[in-house]
């Protein structure tokens, strides 16, 4: 398969993203919060990528114009908001519920296409959105909310993160297509760090970032949760498109649920597992349909 390596890039990036919520939840137990974790993660990732860019002999085109730099920084701002809002959500709700809600980016993308590109959802897409919502209710065990500790604030944060994630995927597939993955990733992470700092300047400015424990956590999040996935997405998504990428990135859901079960001992019952499978099937089907429809249009 000609695009196999790019498919593998996006698949690995989604897998690494899926593990992050469980580890962030553990870091909260050490007294840290979403702002400092997400900011240090993005800042260190931008520094690491910048160093690699400076040392690389194959840097690609790095003399970018302002018309390219600003959109890439803005794209980085959307993934920065995604990480911050997502990390905020798991301080209120379980990691497994947070990832289920994050997956709503799939039907949010339909709304974005409708609002921005006048692409009204057709019947198969509408049906898929309904199935995703049904799967969400089952996977998140929302039917039993009256008997559980439930946080609407956490749900709101998670849904907002899914919206910004949808914006990031659409923007990443359309912006900087001619820019090499390394400078593109560096600018994206710089924009991510800048955005997180702007909305959390007060709390970030008073944080202690020089303790060995915090530095180890920050480096782990920056390398595993940001630097590698961002580079993989920047290289892979433009090559295979947003549709295929969205299908592949659904791997975050089972990975996050499995990781939450292993690391945090969060239990999933049969109904929740069924809901996850419904969501995965619906998401994959919707994006496969969109991809097939796009290919047919190009053939004509």
Measured in residues, the chain has a length of 300
Task: Give burial (CB, 10 Å; 0-12/13-18/19+) of 53.
Answer: middle
Q: Report the number of secondary-structure helices (H) and strands (E) in the chain.
A: 13, 0
> Which whole-number Å values give the CA distances from 92 to 88, 96, 103, 141, 202, in the listed order?
7, 12, 18, 16, 22
pLDDT (mean) for 224-233: 82
Torsion, Cα of 116, 122, 127, 132 (10° steps): -20
**Residues 84/225, Cβ–Cβ less than 8 Å:** no
For range 45-49, the mean pLDDT? 91
Please say if the pLDDT value at position 43 is more than 90.
yes
pLDDT bracket for residue 147 (50, 70, 90): very low
- Does residue 107 register a pLDDT over 50? yes
Asked whether the predicted pLDDT for residue 60 surpasses 60, the reply is no
First to last CA, the chain: 23
User: CA-to-CA distance for 31 and 38, rounded, in angstroms?
Assistant: 14
Digit-coded pLDDT (tens) for 13-41: 888 988 888 899 888 988 888 999 999 99
* Whole-angstrom distance, CA of residue 265 vs CA of residue 22: 10
Q: How confident is the model at residue 56 (pLDDT cuts 50, 70, 90)?
A: confident
Q: Which of 5-14, 169-178, 245-254 has the largest mean confidence? A: 5-14
> What is the overall mean pLDDT for the chain?
82
The candidate with the shortest Cα–Cα distance to 235, out of 167, 173, 145, is 173
Stretch 250-266: mean pLDDT: 84
Residue 256 has which token pair? 């996050």
Domain boundaries, the chain: 4-121+150-269
Q: Check whether 1 has a pLDDT greater than 60.
A: no
Confidence of residue 144 (pLDDT cuts 50, 70, 90): low
Q: Tens digits of per-residue pLDDT, 152-210?
A: 899 999 999 999 988 987 787 778 767 777 888 889 999 999 999 999 998 888 766 66
Task: Specify the pLDDT at position 74.
Answer: 93
């Amino acid at each position: 398969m000609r695009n196999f390596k790019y498919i593998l890039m996006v698949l690995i990036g989604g897998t690494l993203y899926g593990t992050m919520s469980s580890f962030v939840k553990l870091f909260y137990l050490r007294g840290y919060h979403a702002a400092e974790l997400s900011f240090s993660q993005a800042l260190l990732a931008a520094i690491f990528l910048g160093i690699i860019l400076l040392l690389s002999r194959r840097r690609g085109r790095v003399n970018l114009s302002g018309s390219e730099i600003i959109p890439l920084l803005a794209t980085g701002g959307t993934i920065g908001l995604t990480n911050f809002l997502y990390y905020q959500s798991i301080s209120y709700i379980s990691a497994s519920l947070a990832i289920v809600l994050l997956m709503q980016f799939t039907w949010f993308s339909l709304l974005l296409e409708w609002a921005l590109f006048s692409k009204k959802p057709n019947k198969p897409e509408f049906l898929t959105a309904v199935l995703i919502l049904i799967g969400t209710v089952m996977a998140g065990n929302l039917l039993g909310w009256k008997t559980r500790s439930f946080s609407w604030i956490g749900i709101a944060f998670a849904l907002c993160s899914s919206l910004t994630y949808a914006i990031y995927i659409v923007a990443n597939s359309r912006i900087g297509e001619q820019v090499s993955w390394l400078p593109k990733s560096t600018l994206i992470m710089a924009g991510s760090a800048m955005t997180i700092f702007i909305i959390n300047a007060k709390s970030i400015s008073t944080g202690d970032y020089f303790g060995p424990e915090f530095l180890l956590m920050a480096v782990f999040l920056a390398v595993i949760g940001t630097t590698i996935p961002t580079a993989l997405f920047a290289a892979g998504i433009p090559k295979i498109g947003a549709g295929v990428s969205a299908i592949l990135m659904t791997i975050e859901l089972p990975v996050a649920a499995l990781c939450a079960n292993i690391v945090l001992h969060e239990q999933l019952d049969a109904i929740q597992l069924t809901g996850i499978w419904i969501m995965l099937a619906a998401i994959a089907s919707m994006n496969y349909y969109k991809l097939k429809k796009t290919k047919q249009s190009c053939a004509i």
